[in-house]
Amino acid sequence: MVLGRALHFVFKVGDRARTVAFYRDILGMVVLRHEEFEEGCKASCNGPYGNKWSKTMMGYGPEDSHFVSELTYNYGIGGYRKGNDFLGITIQSSEAVSNAKKLGWALTEDQDGVFVTEDPGGYKFILVNKEQPKADPVLKVTLPVSDLQRSINYWSNLLGMKVYKKDDAKKQVLLGYADDQCKLELQDIGSPVNHASAYGRIAFSCPREQLPGIESQMKEENQKILTPLVSLDTPGKATVEVVILADPDGHEICFVGEEAFHDLSKMDANASKLLEDAIAEDKSVEWFAKYHVPKPSA
């Protein structure tokens, strides 16, 4: 049985400054840590790119107790083609709704007390208009699937997630590793899932000793392993070990050793300054504007 803990969802962003402003000024999140890398990740954390890139973790509190967003920025890439592979993150926060209204950010009222908005990259956020809880206000991540029962078998039977709720009429299932964690909601869309170039990745931690077993089980079950067990270095911080999987619909899943991740993910008091400096030093927007050409999309 996998002793998992929901960690974060990875978004590729083309406009780092505007995206960070959305997370900070609309959603009310803070910068938890920021890291710069000179070349591509061995586990393709930044996608299939070998260039310089950065990682910015944003959330409502420490990564040990909150589900956060990992904003991945590839230098020189201004946008990504989106598929139908991401249906939204649900957050309980009347404060976020209020912030969006005050700043004139586009909001659509989906139903009573629920608003839908998008970040600058077009990723959807569902805002429940209730007081933000002291615990983590990020309630669930919703991903589409093409065969609900097949996906339940994968996520529950193979990865050990508990089924919290199943709605046959809506073709939905809610899964998770613990009551107090962000949940994973799967929605059967009745058609193939298209990941395009903007595809994300959901991450979980588990005891490091379980990583080889997860990899071995997936091999035995003839399931897809994108990156076998590998060590990833972060300049000046802890080295973590990960296994990257893909579910039957191609959703990328990262399992990382909990012990090293605990050290890596400690909040950095200098994170906002590091991010601000990196944005100020990135002259790519000005360069493309100077020559009157759009920043290339992936």
Quickly name the fold that domain 5-290 has: 2,3-Dihydroxybiphenyl 1,2-Dioxygenase; domain 1 (3.10.180)
**Measured CA angle at 290 (ends 287, 295), to 5 deg:** 55
Distance CA 39, CA 249 (A): 29
Q: In what order do the strands lie in the sheet with 53-59?
A: 30-37, 53-59, 68-74, 5-13, 201-206, 252-257, 240-246, 224-232
Indicate the length of the chain as a whole number.
298
Paired tokens of 246: 């893909």
Q: Which residue has the tokens 């209730």?
A: 130
Compute the mean pLDDT over every residue in the chain, rounded to the nearest whole number. Answer: 95
For residue 287, the model assigns a pLDDT of: 63
DSSP 3-state percent helix, strand, coil across the chain (nearest 5) = 25, 35, 40
What residue ranges do the domains of the chain occupy? Answer: 5-290
pLDDT digits (tens, 9 = 90+) for 125-177: 999 999 999 999 999 999 999 999 999 999 999 999 999 999 999 999 999 99
- Residue 292 pLDDT class (50, 70, 90 cuts): low
> What does the pLDDT read at residue 283?
76
Please check the confidence at residue 3 and state whether its pLDDT lies above 80: yes
Instruction: Indicate the pLDDT class of residue 291, thresholds 50, 70 and 90.
Output: low
